Chains A and B, each alone.
Chain A
Amino acid sequence: MGLDQSFTGRSYPPSAPYQVGREKIREFATAIGAEDAAYHDPEAARALGYPDVIAPPTFPMVLSMAASRQIVEDPALGVDYSRVVHGDQRFAYTRPVTAGDELVCVNTIESINARGGHDFLTTRSEIGTSDGEAVVTVWTMFVVRGEEG
């Protein structure tokens, strides 16, 4: 059974605010081996014009992956998570995430397509501060593999 394409365009209530911590950014940067000073040292980030350490480009996944489960786990949509594969990923940045940001994700189902027995579900997360400043838009495409045989 394919996913119901009439869910396209549906938006979900904003996620609970996520408080970006300096140590979380440092931990993430260390995990990917990114040693740039602005990811670790607030002074270096301030020299680039930011209020505190900035996060590496893929850091927003820490929030958006958790937030997009809102869609993947929506019982009305009925995705079988055990058959989900991460197909592609895209970010468009207004500015880097910085320590001290309080971020909220608003998730929308951008598209649902069926092809070759699989469903391709693209979600869009608009991530901004709780004050309404846009920070980054994150698109995630999930492949929901069809049942074998």
Chain B
Amino acid sequence: MELPTQRYRVTRADLIRYAGASGDFNPIHWSESFAAKVGLPGVIAHGMLTMALVGRAVTTWAGRPDAIVEYGVRFTRPVEVPDTEDGTEIEVTAVAKDTDDPGLVRLDLTATCAGVKVLAQAKAVIKRP
């Protein structure tokens, strides 16, 4: 079963806020010149911020903030966040599948930014709503 698409906007301000809240102050997430120096196209979002936003999609679909039993992703492509008011957008979709345990559902997750997949092997196991 395919679940309704969720969309999350990410701006530079969100990166600063996430850096403060998480304690991850790597300058690739806030400094244009540092990002360029290490060969990135520009300032990129924390992988863990992307994972957190996809986690929001999962708990939204589950209908409970505490439904997740397992959650994993592989970071494959950076999410570039331009220095504009609108920033960029992450789109999250999922296909729900039964598991061997009747109380649990597996979600195969897809996260894209500007049409490009940014995560691979993204999966969550949630308690059946």
Contact = CB atoms under 8 A, between A and B. Distances in A.
Interface residues on A, range: 20 to 34
B56 interface: yes
Contacts of A89: 47-48, 51, 72-73, 75
Contacts, number: 101
Interface string B89-104: 0000000000000000
A92 B68 CA distance: 9
Interface residues on B, range: 20 to 34
A30 B74 contact: no
Contacts of B14: 31, 33
Interface of B: 8, 14, 17-18, 20-24, 47-49, 51-53, 55-56, 58-59, 64-66, 68-75, 121
Given A56-B52, A62-B21, 4 more contacts: A32-B21, A48-B65, A58-B48, A92-B70
9 contacts: A30-B17, A48-B64, A58-B55, A86-B75, A89-B72, A89-B73, A91-B68, A93-B69, A139-B72
Interface of A: 24, 27-28, 30-34, 36, 38-39, 48, 50, 54, 56-58, 61-62, 65-66, 85-93, 95-96, 139, 141
